[in-house]
Amino acid sequence: MRVGLTGGIASGKSTVSALLRELGAVVIDADALAREVVAAGTPGLAAVVAAFGNEVLTPGGELDRPAVGRLVFADAEQRRRLEAIVHPLVFERVVALEAEAGPDDLVVHDVPLLVESGRAATFDAVVVVEAPHDLQVQRMLEDRGMTREDAEARIAAQATPEQRRAVATHLVVNDSTREALAARVREVHADLAGRLPA
């Protein structure tokens, strides 16, 4: 069973992802794969350097993410060039990881922008992690050192809670303790596991 997992910034999605992994789900993290396919020494990094030049490398030969960010976020054409290199490589890894999963496995795709990318319908179920707005802001200020203005801008740039709820088959509200969150994730996992084909 293919499950999409999503949630707003600082909603607790990474914690839910880790809890699902502990419960035996196969978790495929899109962001981690995007970093993996352009790691030092990979064909992906070589392709990025061929497209954008050596200025996208750190002195140690790693991808200089801030430098790439400056190049692509101000220029849609450059962003499309980068995506044309990275997205097929990520897709290839996703397909390989799904193929390794057993027929009885829950395969959870951790996709931050699942709603924004219009991909919710490609999954058998969608788990949405949600936290109250003020709590999201507080977490970003305390845990990530952001300014309130930056935190609000990040939240505003993402899908609204209503848009996420509209595609959710399972809602996880993260507004209390870690124990309460873990209990809710166990409920969701049990329900999803119960839907696996016999």
Q: How does pLDDT run across 68-116, given as a tens digit for each residue?
A: 888 887 788 998 899 899 989 998 999 999 999 988 899 999 988 899 8
**Most confident residue range from 16-25, 30-39, 154-163:** 16-25
- Is a pLDDT exceeding 80 seen at residue 192? yes
25, 127 in Cβ contact below 8 A?
no
What whole-number distance in Å separates Cα of residue 150 and Cα of residue 155? 9
Predicted confidence at residue 198, as pLDDT, reads 59
Share of the chain above pLDDT 70, in %: 99
What whole-number distance in Å separates Cα of residue 100 and Cα of residue 98? 5
Predicted confidence at residue 66, as pLDDT, reads 84
Predicted confidence at residue 179, as pLDDT, reads 97
Decide if 1-25+106-198 and 33-104 have a common fold.
Answer: yes
- Residues annotated within a binding site: 10-15
DSSP 8-64: -TTSSHHHHHHHHHHTT-EEEEHHHHHHHTTSTTSHHHHHHHHHH-GGGB-TTSSB-
CATH number of 33-104: 3.40.50.300
Tokens 């880790």 belong to residue: 18
Predicted confidence at residue 30, as pLDDT, reads 85
- Is a pLDDT exceeding 80 seen at residue 45? yes
CATH topology of domain 1-25+106-198: Rossmann fold (3.40.50)
Report the pLDDT averaged over residues 161-181: 96
> Domain map of the chain by residue range?
1-25+106-198, 33-104
Task: Please enumerate in sequence order all residues whose Cβ is within 8 A of that of 134, keeping only pairs 6 or more positions apart, or say none.
Answer: none
- Residues annotated within a binding site for ATP: 10-15
pTM for the structure as a whole: 0.83
